[in-house]
């Protein structure tokens, strides 16, 4: 495993957390066993389907909503608990929920946003695991959109967002016209 501090006190990137064999197994099994759906969100006053598949697992009674959408949690599976334990070890923090995203190809994406919903509290710690095809993860400063950075999130990696990262930056996974494979992403969160 390799650890890199990308932004001091805000963004830490662990690569080779899982070998490619283990990552492939998690990828296949999550793809098949997670109850994937296509959420609708409110955008500019209109209901719009998100450009990817999603699912939400959490402790009972945990409620979370984003972009006007209230998410109903499903109960943890043994596999998600395994992944949660590793995410907790790397971030030194305990989580009570995970939001999963399934990017089926280059047309699937995640628009610019910060994970700054009030249920996450101030300076939330979020651990993000990637399995499958690497995609670009873009950052831009909230007070200066021209100040951008990017990294490629690799198969078997974990990105930990912490401190005032959400307050200071927005992030996105842009669409791409390149031929890309499928990617799964799990963001472990603590809902207060």
Question: Strand, helix or coil at 107?
Answer: coil
b/e 111-142 (16+ beta carbons within 10 angstroms → b): eeebbbbeebeeebbbbbbbbbbebebbbbee
Nearer to ligand AKG, 76 or 112 (CB): 112
At closest approach, how far in Å is the CB of 128 from ligand AKG?
Answer: 5
Question: Least distance to ligand AKG from the beta carbon of 113, Å?
Answer: 6
Q: Bridge-partner residues for 39, per DSSP?
A: none
Residue nearest to ligand AKG (CB): 185
For the bound state, the minimum distance from the C-beta of residue 111 to ligand AKG, rounded and expressed in Å, comes to 9
Strands 11-15 and 157-161: antiparallel
- From 129, 173, 147, 143, select the one nearest 22 (Cα to Cα): 129
β-partners of residue 43 are 46
CB closer to ligand AKG out of 11 and 110: 110
Give the nearer residue to ligand AKG in terms of CB position, either 79 or 151. Answer: 151
CB of 54 to ligand AKG, least distance (A): 9
Conformation bin of residue 44: beta by default, left when phi > 0, alpha when psi is -120 to 50: left
Taking the least distance from each CB to ligand AKG, the nearer of 91 and 101 is 101
Q: Which residues contact 141 (CB under 8 A, 6 or more apart)?
A: 147, 148, 168, 169
Question: Cβ 102 to ligand AKG, closest distance in Å?
Answer: 10
Of 22 and 132, the one with the shorter C-beta distance to ligand AKG is 132
* Binding footprint of ligand AKG on the chain (CB under 6 A): 99, 101, 110, 115, 128, 137, 153, 171, 173, 185, 187
């Amino acid at each position: 495993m390799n650890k890199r501090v990308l932004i001091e006190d805000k963004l830490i990137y662990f690569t080779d957390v899982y070998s490619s064999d283990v990552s492939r197994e998690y990828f296949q099994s999550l793809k098949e066993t997670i109850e994937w759906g296509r959420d609708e969100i409110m955008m500019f006053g209109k209901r719009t389907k998100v450009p990817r598949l999603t699912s939400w697992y959490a402790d009972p009674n945990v409620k979370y909503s984003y972009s006007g959408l209230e998410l109903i949690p499903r109960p943890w599976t043994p596999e998600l608990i395994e992944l949660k334990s590793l995410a907790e070890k790397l971030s030194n923090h305990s989580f009570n929920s995970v939001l999963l995203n399934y990017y089926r190809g280059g047309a699937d994406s995640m628009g610019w946003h910060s994970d700054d919903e009030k249920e996450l509290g101030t300076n939330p710690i979020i651990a993000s695991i990637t399995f499958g095809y690497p995609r670009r993860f873009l950052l831009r400063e909230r007070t200066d959109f021209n100040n951008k950075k990017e990294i490629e999130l690799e198969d078997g990696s974990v990105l930990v967002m912490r401190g005032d990262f959400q307050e200071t930056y927005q992030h996105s996974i842009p669409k791409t016209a390149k031929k890309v494979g499928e990617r799964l992403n799990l963001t472990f969160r603590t809902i207060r």
